[in-house]
Amino acid sequence: MTHVLDDLEARGLIAHSTDRDALRAELSAGPITYYVGFDPTAPSLHIGNLLQILTARRLQLAGHTPLLLVGGSTGLIGDPKEAGERIMNTKETVADWVDRIASQVSRFVDFEGDNAATIVNNLDWTSGLSTIDFLRDIGKHFPVNRMLARDVVSSRLESGISYTEFSYVLLQSLDFLELHRRHGAVLQTGGSDQWGNITAGVELIRRADGHKAHALATPLITKADGTKFGKTETGTVWLDPELMSPYAFYQSWIQAEDSKVVEYLRQFTFLDLDEIAQLEAEHLEKPGLRAAQRRLAAEMTTLVHGEAETAAAELASQALFGRAELTDLPEPTLAAALGEAGAVPLLVADRPTIVDALVASGLVDSKSAARRAISDGGAYLNNQRVSDPDLVLEGDQLLYNTWAVLRKGKRSVSGVSVV
């Protein structure tokens, strides 16, 4: 059986680790307890966080016991950003986000069996901690010169950094120490941008208790140009369907670059590496089929939103281009698909025509161009070729009495909502 570290390495999931041989020996000696943390700085996790959850899942599948920390106290402060001071959210807002995020992470790990997962909140051990005790018992282990040398701190010294954000590393290190004492945690995982915080916790355990702990960081997931993967033109790729529809989530994976799609398959999916190698061969032979992207999108949407939403997203992708029936789409999926395609509203009182709709949608730049597209046979309404430029969009011309799918030629799709 492949050692979990070898699997993580083969999938490109190890950017940094403390003593690799010592960590391997610890993992091989028997089940360990490890933790990964998430700060509630938004009402939902995103796909960058998802990589951390799935890494925790891989370790659990290898027999180890996960602690999933949702930071009720660290979320009140926020890890320092290079760009400037974070906005402080209210305690009520953070508490609500703690509950939401705890619910999200719960879907990806098992809470039964010998290595059942546990969700923990660092507010449990910080809410009653006095400032004096914190400074005496924790602060004394942190040399200020080393804290100042951290990249994110040094980059903010000229513009200014508050003592609140400067002290964040102490709180995150305290988490590791407390989970080590309370649950026997000996490993923390996280993103490589957290490496300084994670290793500070390892050092605190050594200084405070004289024990050895370990750290492992995954790489930042990027696009081919080096920018962060998970950011789209419309914003962050969220896990919460209220913030990003399952269709839009599906599309974010479909749009993966050819040069990166296999990397994402290894890092995010639980497909066997041999199967991924086969997908890679197919992709290299016929990249235009986008088989790797379609498999990636299906695997990830099913994982996060379930099989039904994946089927609806796949159907929508086909239906918008005339390869499936639009009437088979649930209205939320149709609305999400047209929203991604750039649908715009039109007023029913104006009795908009197909020409008006084509111009408003941006598929053509003028009414004369719209009429020309219609006369040339290249304009479609709900996948039916349009021949009448005076056709009014109303009644049975609209899906769910609201939506019109517009297409120019084979590839240019948009739509309108008539309200």
φ and ψ at residue 207, rounded to 5 degrees: -70, -40
**By mean pLDDT, which of 135-149, 151-165, 179-193, 215-229 is the weakest?**
151-165
Predicted confidence (pLDDT) per residue in 378-406, tens digit: 999 999 999 999 999 998 889 999 999 99
Is 105:38 a contact under the CB 8 Å cutoff? yes
pLDDT reported for residue 83 = 64
Q: Could you tell me the domains of the chain?
A: 4-218 (3.40.50.620), 221-325 (1.10.240.10), 341-419 (3.10.290.10)
Is 14:55 a contact under the CB 8 Å cutoff? no
**By mean pLDDT, which of 80-94, 167-181, 257-271, 316-330 is the weakest?**
80-94
Predicted confidence (pLDDT) per residue in 325-342, tens digit: 999 999 999 999 999 888
Q: Residue 143 pLDDT more than 90?
A: no
What average pLDDT does the chain have? Answer: 92
Cα–Cα dist 321/302, whole Å: 23
Q: Residue 179 pLDDT more than 70?
A: yes
Sign of CA dihedral 37, 41, 43, 46: negative
Q: Residue 232 pLDDT more than 90?
A: no
pTM: 0.90
pLDDT category of residue 234 using cuts at 50, 70 and 90: low
Taking phi over 0 as left and psi of -120 to 50 as alpha, with beta for the rest, 271 belongs to: beta
Cα–Cα dist 180/134, whole Å: 17
**DSSP secondary structure code for residue 150 in this structure:** S
Predicted confidence (pLDDT) per residue in 18-54, tens digit: 999 999 999 999 999 999 999 999 999 999 999 999 9
pLDDT reported for residue 145 = 76
pLDDT reported for residue 7 = 97
Is 304:239 a contact under the CB 8 Å cutoff? yes
Question: How many CA within 13 A on the CB side of residue 274?
Answer: 0
Residues 145-163 have a mean pLDDT of: 72
Would you call 388 helix, strand, or coil by DSSP? coil
Q: Residue 157 pLDDT more than 80?
A: no
pLDDT reported for residue 233 = 62
**DSSP secondary structure code for residue 41 in this structure:** S
Predicted confidence (pLDDT) per residue in 312-321, tens digit: 999 999 998 8
| HEC letters along 310-369 | HHHHHHHHHHCCCCCCHHHCCHHHHHHHHHHCCCEEECHHHCCEHHHHHHHHCCCCCHHH
pLDDT reported for residue 36 = 98
